[in-house]
Amino acid sequence: MRDLSSTPAIDKVAIDALQDVLSAEHAALWCYSLAVAFLSSARAEQARSDTEAHRELRSKVAQTLTEFGQRPVSAQPAYATPQPVEDGLSAAVLVVVAETDAMAAWRSVLERSTLPELRQVALDTLTATTVRCARWRAVVGLTPEIPVFPGRPDPPR
Amino acid sequence: MSDPHLVARAEFGEAPRNGEMLRRDRALRPPASTPTRRQVLSALMLVPVALTGACSLPTSSSRAGLDPLIALADRARADAALAAAAVAADPDLAEQVKPLRAARAEHAVALDAEVARLDPGAVARTRPPVAADADDPPPRATLTRLREAVLASGRAAADVAVGLPADRVGLVASVTACCAAYGALLI
């Protein structure tokens, strides 16, 4: 592995990856805020706990970008949902979509950065996101509950 | 379920899509001065969560010239075999263990393919000709042991992942996350 101590610690590609992660975290928070109203109390509790995790991630990523002198990308005022959200099941489906997008964004950070510290954080977060996603996939009834290749775009099958 | 990648789309015509917003930012704001390694550390170490466990920096390619993905593929096969043995020992586990067994088998195939992509002869050279699925199941093939094995496999993949080139890191990161999630969710 290259010695990174004498080279720029982070480059534009990695910054863009972090902005994409931030976009995904914004979207996830929006999805949870919509979904929670439709979920039963136990699942709503889970959704609130997951919301806290995403809120913390969003805050840390935004803070990181700011410290790099970048303006953190803003949330959209609203997002198009793949399906109408009208009951507990469709709400859980939306959360699965949000977590799936977040997994892809965090995996992409690993592919678009070389800094070990950043990659480690992205790897840990990919894992945590996979666990959240798996719980919601179980609610929806998707199998396998745990994705075989979390974050991989366009599975070739 | 429909295409799972449709979320981040603005509903209002006025609002730029994320990509456009990013491009606009780029035009307005050229990259600031390069942050130091220390800045990166101080900023990113704040990001929480460490399910994959503490991992030191890459010890990959520990044995000279050997593709580190070969060992990960072997682990995937061993986990799949252990899962099969656990079901043989207790058929009631079949339903619970089947997805893990299938996932680890898929990991082995994907890792082998990646090894072969860089060196088509590598797998044949380094693997003994004996089938990885042993005839006699290992002793104590229990759910606990399976969980420990898949967690250890996740840690091994995590150790390798961080030092891999960009075109390989995604696969190994996915294997890491999948193994760690099974370790976390498999009771």
Domain ranges within chain A, ordered by starting residue: 12-70+84-140
Alpha-carbon dihedral sign for residues A133, A139, A142, A145: positive
Please state the φ and ψ torsions of residue B75, each to the nearest 5 degrees.
-60, -40
User: Going by C-beta distance under 8 Å and a sequence separation of 6 or more, which residues neighbour residue A61?
Assistant: A18, A21, A22, A25, A72, B47
Options 1.10.260.40, 3.20.20.140, 1.20.1260.10, 3.40.50.720; which CATH number does A12-70+84-140 get?
Answer: 1.20.1260.10
Return the closest-CA partner of residue A101 out of B18, B161, B65. B18
Q: Is the residue at B2 inside a domain?
A: no
pLDDT at A147 over 50: yes
Average pLDDT over residues B7-29: 34
Neighbours of A128 (CB within 10 A): 25
Q: Which domain holds residue B93?
A: 68-185
CB < 8 Å to A126, chain B? 173-174, 176-177
Owner of token pair 């954080």 = A121
Q: Sort B41 into a burial class: Cβ within 10 Å, 0-12 / 13-18 / 19+.
A: middle
Q: Judge: A146–B178 Cβ closer than 8 Å, yes or no.
A: yes
Q: Is the residue at B87 inside a domain?
A: yes
Q: What is the C-alpha to C-alpha distance for residues B134 and B74, in angstroms, rounded to an integer? A: 13
pLDDT digits (tens, 9 = 90+) for B159-175: 999 999 999 999 999 99
pLDDT at A98 over 90: yes
CB < 8 Å to B103, chain A? 144, 146, 148
User: What ipTM did this prediction achieve?
Assistant: 0.92
pLDDT digits (tens, 9 = 90+) for B70-117: 999 999 999 999 999 999 999 999 999 999 999 999 999 999 999 999
Q: Sort B176 into a burial class: Cβ within 10 Å, 0-12 / 13-18 / 19+.
A: buried
Q: Is the residue at B113 inside a domain?
A: yes
- Say how far residue B68 (Cα) sits from the centre of its chain: 13
pLDDT at A19 over 90: yes
Q: Judge: A70–B29 Cβ closer than 8 Å, yes or no.
A: yes
Q: Is the residue at B120 inside a domain?
A: yes
Neighbours of A2 (CB within 10 A): 7
Average pLDDT over residues A48-69: 96
Chain A residue with the nearest C-alpha to that of B17: A76
pLDDT of residue B139: 62
Q: What is the C-alpha to C-alpha distance for residues B96 and B167, in angstroms, rounded to an integer? A: 33
Look at chain B and count its residues. 187
Q: Is the residue at B53 inside a domain?
A: no
Q: Judge: A121–B162 Cβ closer than 8 Å, yes or no.
A: no
Domain count for chain B, please give it: 1
